């Protein structure tokens, strides 16, 4: 008899219309590949060399104010710029579908420091401190979304050197773009289509299934649920989903914002407890576009994509079949959820 816990299979992601190969039998294979180093996390509360700490000069020459809570500033080395001349390259034989196609795009890239404390991260921040971060996210989404040409706002965080973070100070980024990024655009199309067909959000129906089954839940509170999605690609990938189908963070009521802050702290604390290390990840919120167009079916959620696989020193690599075929994972989403859910957290 076929068993999802023992036999290789593929799982479908309805949010992106993509598939992932699951190979649970491979968890028994020995590992002789790369092993990461785990330097001790002994950061001071204030680092005079950190360009994100209060009062310190940044690389661009501007000094940070002596901030005591959250702090937002324009990225000194932004990947996208607000003032870009319009331009387009379109060459090729296919009418209306050029083979060589490039379009100038604009963007506003900002950095949000969560705390003046250099030695903290999301798991160590208090609920009140994280609530201030949630409020700052809402303000930035509204402020950037009000810019006439900004069609999309992505709030995200890269934690840890393994995920490319250039500074360990607790911070994230907010990018407002003149275009809908590819991953977001796929989710956008799928959610609109599902709502048009069923009159309910895709994630409302999906969340109801997960709450009924319980096998992929990690933690939950009155307003939010953290779970390992059925179609997870990364070993300990999770989603944080709002119980009420709001389209963006600004739509959350005060109690819901408190709940979001709480579940983010609880989830990231579980990550840190899993391998007893500052757990690296990329995290991002998907919210409705800011292009002024109706977006029925949009349901606020966040993705956490961490790379660690077997321990603090063994990571998952996306190579070979994953790069040229489709994603593949070993540990099942159910096993990953159980490990995160059953952790005993210190008060």
Catalytic residue IDs: 171
Distance CA 240, CA 161 (A): 23
The token pair at 262 is 């709480």
The token pair at 15 is 């949010």
Distance CA 289, CA 151 (A): 6
Distance CA 284, CA 210 (A): 21
Q: Kindly give, in sequence order, each residue whose CB lies less than 8 Å from that of residue 258, ignoring residues fewer than 6 positions away.
A: 127, 131
Query: Nearest CA to 340 among 210, 218, 216?
Result: 218
Query: Nearest CA to 186 among 202, 206, 199?
Result: 202
Q: Which long-range contacts (CB under 8 A, 24 or more apart) does 197-201 make?
A: 200/245, 201/245, 201/297, 201/298, 201/299
The C-alpha R_g of the chain, in whole angstroms, comes to 21
Distance CA 157, CA 173 (A): 6
Distances (CA, A) of 109 to 82, 294, 305: 9, 25, 21
Query: Nearest CA to 279 among 126, 157, 119, 160?
Result: 160
Distance CA 288, CA 249 (A): 10
Distance CA 242, CA 229 (A): 14
Residue 329, strand partner residues:
22
C-beta of residue 236 within 8 angstroms of C-beta of residue 271:
yes
């Amino acid at each position: 008899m076929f068993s999802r816990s023992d036999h290789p299979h593929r799982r479908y992601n309805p949010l992106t219309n993509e598939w992932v190969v699951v190979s649970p039998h491979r968890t028994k294979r020995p590992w002789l590949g790369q092993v990461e180093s785990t330097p001790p996390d002994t950061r001071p509360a204030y680092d005079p060399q950190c360009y994100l700490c209060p009062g310190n000069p940044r690389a661009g020459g501007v000094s940070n104010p002596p901030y005591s809570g959250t702090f937002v500033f324009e990225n000194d080395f932004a990947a996208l710029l607000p003032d870009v001349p319009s331009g387009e390259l379109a060459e090729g034989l296919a009418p209306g579908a050029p083979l060589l196609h490039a379009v100038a795009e604009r963007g506003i890239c900002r950095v949000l420091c969560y705390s003046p404390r250099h030695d903290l991260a999301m798991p160590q921040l208090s609920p009140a401190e994280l609530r201030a971060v949630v409020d700052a996210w809402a303000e930035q989404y509204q402020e950037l979304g009000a810019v006439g040409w900004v069609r999309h706002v992505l709030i995200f965080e890269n934690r840890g050197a393994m995920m490319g973070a250039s500074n360990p100070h607790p911070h994230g980024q907010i990018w407002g773009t003149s275009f809908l990024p590819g991953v977001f655009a796929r989710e956008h199309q799928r959610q609109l289509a599902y709502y048009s067909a069923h009159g309910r959000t895709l994630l409302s129906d999906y969340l109801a299934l997960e709450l009924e089954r319980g096998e992929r839940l990690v933690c939950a509170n009155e307003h939010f649920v953290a779970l390992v999605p059925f179609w997870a690609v990364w070993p300990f990938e999770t989603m944080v989903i709002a119980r009420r189908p709001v389209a963006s963070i600004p739509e959350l009521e005060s109690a819901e914002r408190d709940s979001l802050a709480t579940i983010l702290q609880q989830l990231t604390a579980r990550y840190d407890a899993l391998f007893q290390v500052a757990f690296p990840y990329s995290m991002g919120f998907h919210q409705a576009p800011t292009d002024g167009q109706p977006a029925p079916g949009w349901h606020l959620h966040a993705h956490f994509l961490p790379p660690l696989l077997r321990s603090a020193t063994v990571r998952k690599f996306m190579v070979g079949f994953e790069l040229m075929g489709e994603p593949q994972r070993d540990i099942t989403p159910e096993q990953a959820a159980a490990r995160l859910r059953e952790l005993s957290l210190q008060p």
